[in-house]
Amino acid sequence: MKTKLRIAFYLLSMAGFAQAPVASYYGTDNVVFDIVGTVNHAPTGANTTWNFTNLTSMGQSTDNEAVPTPTEITEFPGSTAVVTTESLYDDNTTATFKVYSKAPANALSLTGIDNGELILKYNTNNALLGTFPLNFGYNNSDNVAGNYDNGQYSGTFSGTIVTTIDAWGTLNVSGTGVNVYSGSVTRLKTVQNISLNYGAFSNVGTVTVTTYSYYGTDLFPAGIPRFRSTLTTVSVPLLSINQSMTQNEAFSMVLLGTKPFEWSNNVSIAPNPVDDVLNIQSSTPIQSVTLTDVTGKIVLKENASANIAVGHLQKGMYFATIQTDSGST
């Protein structure tokens, strides 16, 4: 519970653009984010600027969306979607969590969360985020309640979740091993305050989770933030837990697309997935292309080539680092 609680309460992202409706909640399947260090979310309101620069990738996380199984629907009643996030950190530790939701008539609510150690069931009162589309200035507070179970302790919880579209402006993202972005964004903020009850004891602990999601105003796929953060504070005296945790993530890439995918303003790849030859297009000369597997092992490196033969590689997922005259993607 202590090591993974920060991701158990992670709220997925929505898409929108400055001074325009936030159209949807979920984005494209198989989305990869770089896990990065501390940033400053302090600016708020209209026409502001966030500079998330000098970042360093400390691992990666991947989102996958699916329809819940019959067993999952029984456990989390009413669920129509489940998003699984797999995180792999540079120290080779991993984390997995699932978020369940439903969205009748575009009114999206959380129905449950399961990270393998802690299960939250919003079965008494779902966590309503809002009815989409949402506009800048949107503010909604909803009561939440249900049951929790971490394998050792179980009980009930209650509290509130507040969802706001509280800011728009310009976001600048850059750093080592991080996909560079500079452009207009809209920010979605959620604050969840939960009180935990155990047996006859009420309010044995509290959890406060604040999330920020920044969405580009370009033609970026709806539901994929350019940057997202989860800030979690947990206090459970009964279990001697008193901690604060943060996970910041910058968009990296979309995997397994059926069309060429543009990673940045000057680099794209096709096809993806690929069988024999990977074609790379760049507005500036390519210096080198390096492919690594999911363990970080380099499996192929080519110099100054836009057409990479990969048919000899084993079937699986790989990451490409493309070095050009204008930088690394």
Residue 41 falls in which region: left (phi positive, over 0), alpha (psi -120 to 50) or beta: alpha
Q: Which of 117, 104, 62 is nearest to 84 (CA)?
A: 62
Percent of the chain having pLDDT more than 70?
85
Percent of the chain having pLDDT more than 90?
36
Rounded distance between C-alpha atoms, residue 309 and residue 275, angstroms: 9
Please compute the mean of the pLDDT values over residues 59-86 and round it to a whole number.
Answer: 92
Q: Which of 242, 260, 239, 264 is nearest to 153 (CA)?
A: 239
Has this prediction a pTM greater than 0.75?
no
Statement: residue 55 has pLDDT above 50: yes
Rounded distance between C-alpha atoms, residue 252 and residue 263, angstroms: 7
Strand 261-262 and strand 241-254: pairing?
unpaired
Write down the mean pLDDT value for the chain.
82
Rounded distance between C-alpha atoms, residue 199 and residue 202, angstroms: 8
Rounded distance between C-alpha atoms, residue 195 and residue 175, angstroms: 38
Query: What's the order of all strands across the beta sheet hosting 318-324?
Result: 298-303, 286-293, 318-324, 327-328
| Residue 18 tokens, joined | 């400055």
Statement: residue 200 has pLDDT above 50: yes
